[in-house]
Amino acid sequence: MKNFLWIGAIVVVFIGLMLWANGGSDSNLPKFELGVINSLDHVKGKAIDSTASTTGVVLMEYSDFQCPACRSYYPILREIMQEFGDRITFVYRYFPLTSIHQNAEFSARAAEAAGKQGKFWEMHDLLFEKQNEWAEIGNPYPLFESYAKLLNISVEQFKTDYGSSAVKDVVRAERMHSLKIGLEGTPSFFINGKQIQNPASLDAFKVVIRNALAGNLSATSSQP
């Protein structure tokens, strides 16, 4: 009986140490906040940092490169930034739906790795435009490397960054943040920290942005 008690105690201690280790690991991850621009964020448009005036309009997208719906919003967001980019800030955050999209995390790592060489948005665009090429294959990395070549960045550096803990930690941290704030799907859009209903068209999205610029966000917000 004593042997069983000792074994049980060892198992409990082992589990406790594992949980502590995981918690410690998580505590070292980058921290992201809803509606607050992080230095690690990828930003387009009128850059507004966390110390700037709150009167600016910050559009945040939580997205999955393998998500077909995110792909459908990609050209819409390009149009939005072409029209409003000098008046708003657009922030892209990773929310890879790993339970249903086998290559979602890998594609996020590819974008983050390209970002290490100043080519995040270019890789972002390629991943959406070529989604059908890599989304369902067993090993997407060779394709990601071919995209890196198209972008004229160092393939060796891309490969190193793609597998680095720094890149993995950013993707993991943004995914954990997405879950923490209760997101269940992609894309999810927020304006100044308030979630909006996904606009049904480009024109509808423009109306949302115009309302936000006019200070009438409550008209399109799905959360207080």
Q: Give me the tens of pLDDT residue by residue for the chain, a chain 224 residues long.
A: 434 333 333 333 333 333 333 434 576 899 999 999 999 999 999 865 444 444 589 999 999 999 999 999 999 999 999 999 999 999 999 999 999 999 999 999 999 999 999 999 999 999 999 999 999 999 999 999 999 999 999 999 999 999 999 999 999 999 999 999 999 999 999 999 999 999 999 999 999 999 999 987 664 554 43
* Residue ranges per structural domain of the chain: 1-30, 42-219
**Total residues found in the chain within this entry:** 224
Strand pairing partners for 194?
Answer: 191
**Using an 8 Å Cβ cutoff, are 208 and 220 in contact?**
yes
Q: Locate tokens 């995110």: which residue?
A: 70
- State the number of CA atoms in the 13 A half-sphere of 53 facing the CB: 5
Can you give the pTM of this predicted structure?
0.84
Two structure tokens written together for 93: 């955050």
Residue 153 makes CB contacts below 8 A (sequence gap 6+) with 114, 117, 119
The Cβ of residue 140 has, within 10 Å, a number of other Cβ atoms equal to 20
Amino acid present at 79: E
Nearest to 92 by CA among 40, 158, 29, 153: 40
Architecture label for domain 42-219 = 3-Layer(aba) Sandwich (3.40)
Positive or negative, the CA dihedral 195, 201, 205, 208 is negative
